[in-house]
Amino acid sequence: MKRYPVLLFALAMAGCTTAAGGGGTGTNSGTPIPSGIFYVNEGTSPNTVGAFSTSQIAGGGQLSALTGSPFQVTGQNGAAGAPFGIALAKGGTVLYVVNSNQGSVTEFTVDMNGTLTLANTYPVGASPSGVCVDPSNSFAAVVNTGANSVKPFAVNPDGSLTGASVVSGNGLSTPTACTYSSDGKYLYVSNNTSPGGISGFSVAGGGVLSPLSTYATGNFLQGIVASATVVFAADQSHNGLHILLISASGNLAYQNFFGTAFGPIGIALAPNGKNLYVAASAKQAVDGYSVNGQILSQLAGAPYATQAFKTAMVSVNSAGTLLVALDEIDCAVTVFAIKSDGTLGYAPMNEYKLCNAANPMAVVAR
C-alpha cells in the first residue's frame, strides 16, 4: 500500500487559511527572496508542468508564471504527475518530467528565460514515481512504483536519454524516490511498502546498474538524498530520517534514526552538502539542519512555518539561495531565501497559489 498520499493527522491539524499572493514577512524577515525559477509537475489531466518566477516577490509582488506556462507534457488525457517526478539536468537546460499514468518520462529543453520546449518522451515502466540525475549529468534513473523496477539511462550531451536494461528484484517494493551518491558511483532507491528500506546499485558505463546489498528498515520510506558518504531517507510514519553510511563498496551501514518535525516526505540537500531541508507535511513547516558527515544539528528558527495544508515536497536551487516548498493539497508554494548560514529567511506569511488543480506532486528549483 502506498503511504505518501495519505496523512490523516495532518488534515486534522491543518487550521490555516491559504491565500493567493503574499509578500508579507514571517519571524525570519530581513533577507529578500532571490530571483529564481521553479517547475511543478502539476498532475492535471492531461499532465502539465507549471513554470514560475520569484523575481517579483522581494518587492511585495506576486509569483509570476512564465510565458507559455503551463506546458503540456504528453497531450494525453489521464496523464498524472508523481511524487519526486521532476528533475533538472545539464545546468538547468534540460528538464525531465514523469508521467505516472502513461509509464513514461518526458524531456524538455529549457532556454535562458526558463521556457520549456518539448523534446522527447521515453517509456520506462508501470506507474513511475521518482526521477533523479547524477551530479555529473552522465546518468539518470526512473523508479517504477507499479512495476517494482528501475529504468536507468545514459544522459547524452544534448540531454536526450539512451536507455539501459531495466532492473528489478533487489528488495524493490513500491519504489518511490531515488538518488545518486555525489560521486555518481552508486544509486539508492527508497521503498514504500514492506519490507521497506533502501535498495542499492552500483553504476557503470551507460548508466547500467548492478545490485548491491539492500537495507530493509521495515518502514515505509519516501524522500532520499545522498552525499559521497551518507544516505538520508525520510520515514513519514515514524517522523524522522534514517541515516546510513556508504562503504567503499557502495553497500550501506545503518547508523541511526533521527527524529524530525512530523510527517517528513520530501527532502533536499543543499548543493554544498552543508544543509538538509525536510518537508514536514504534518507540521505545516520546513525543518532544517546543518550537516557534518552523519551528524545533523537543527538550524536556528527551524522548523519554519509554511502555512501549508500539506507541505509535501521541497527543492533548493543550484545556487543554494532559494528554497521552494510545495503544498500538495492546495497547489501552492511557500518560498524562502537561504541565508549564508543555511537558515531560512523572509518566509512570506501567505502561500502563493499556483493552479486550481489538486495534488501537484513534484517541484524543482532551477
Tell the burial category of 339 from Cβ atoms under 10 Å away from its Cβ (0-12, 13-18, 19+): middle
Average pLDDT value for residue range 357-362? 76
Contact 313, 296 (CB under 8 A): no
Residue 361's pLDDT band (cuts 50, 70, 90): confident
pLDDT surpasses 50 at 357? yes
pLDDT in tens, 103-122: 999 999 999 999 999 999 99
> What does the block give as the cell for 179?
538518488
Give me the torsion for CA of 124, 185, 362, 289, rounded to 10°.
160
Question: 26-37 in b/e burial notation, b at 16+ Cβ within 10 A?
Answer: bebeebebbebb
Query: Comparing C-alpha atoms, which of 71, 127, 131 is closest to residue 101?
Result: 127
Sign of the Cα pseudo-torsion (254, 201, 5, 306, in order): positive
Q: Evaluate if residue 44 carries a pLDDT over 90.
A: no
| DSSP label at residue 206 | G
At residue 10, the 3 state secondary structure works out as helix
CA dihedral 143→147→150→154, nearest 10 degrees, is -90
pTM, two decimal places: 0.91
Give residue-wise pLDDT tens across range 314-345: 999 999 999 999 998 888 999 999 999 999 99
Sort 112 into a burial class: Cβ within 10 Å, 0-12 / 13-18 / 19+: exposed
| Residue 347 in this model has a pLDDT that exceeds 90 | no
Quote the DSSP letter at residue 156. P
The answer to whether 122 touches 153, Cβ cutoff 8 Å, is yes
Please name which of 341, 358, 346, 360 lies closest in space to residue 266, comparing C-alpha atoms. Answer: 360
Which residue intervals of the chain are DSSP H helices? 8-13
Cell 508501470 belongs to residue: 126
Per-residue model confidence (pLDDT) at position 322: 96
Cα 187 versus chain centre, distance: 16
For 185-208, letters b (16+ CB in 10 Å) and e give ebbbbbbbbeebbbbbbebeeebe
Distance between CA atoms of residues 268 and 317, nearest Å: 10
Q: Which tens digit of pLDDT belongs to each residue from 136-177?
A: 999 999 999 999 999 999 999 999 999 999 999 999 999 999
Q: How far is CA 309 from CA 7, 60, 139, 298, in A?
A: 11, 23, 35, 23
The Cα 343–Cα 242 span in angstroms is 22
pLDDT tens, position by position, 264-283: 999 999 999 999 999 999 99
Residue of 190, 152, 155, 156 whose CA lies nearest to 173: 190
Residue 197 three-state SS: strand
Q: Give residue 323's pLDDT.
A: 97
Q: What is the pLDDT of residues 299-315, one digit of tens each?
A: 999 999 998 889 999 99
Task: Give the three cell numbers for residue 158.
Answer: 544534448
- What's the rounded mean pLDDT across residues 176-201? 95
pLDDT at position 77 is 64
- The region of weakest confidence among 66-75, 234-243, 282-291 is 66-75
Statement: 8-365 belongs to CATH 3.40.50.720: no
Domain boundaries, the chain: 8-365
**What are the tens digits of pLDDT across the range 207-228?**
999 999 999 887 789 999 999 8
Q: How confident is the model at residue 3 (pLDDT cuts 50, 70, 90)?
A: very low
Non-local (6+) Cβ contacts of 112 within 8 A are none
Residue from 112, 101, 97 nearest 79 by CA:
101
Residues 48-100: tens digit of each pLDDT? 899 999 998 877 788 899 999 999 887 666 667 899 999 999 999 999 999 99
Question: Mean pLDDT for the chain?
Answer: 88
Distance CA 269, CA 290 (A): 10
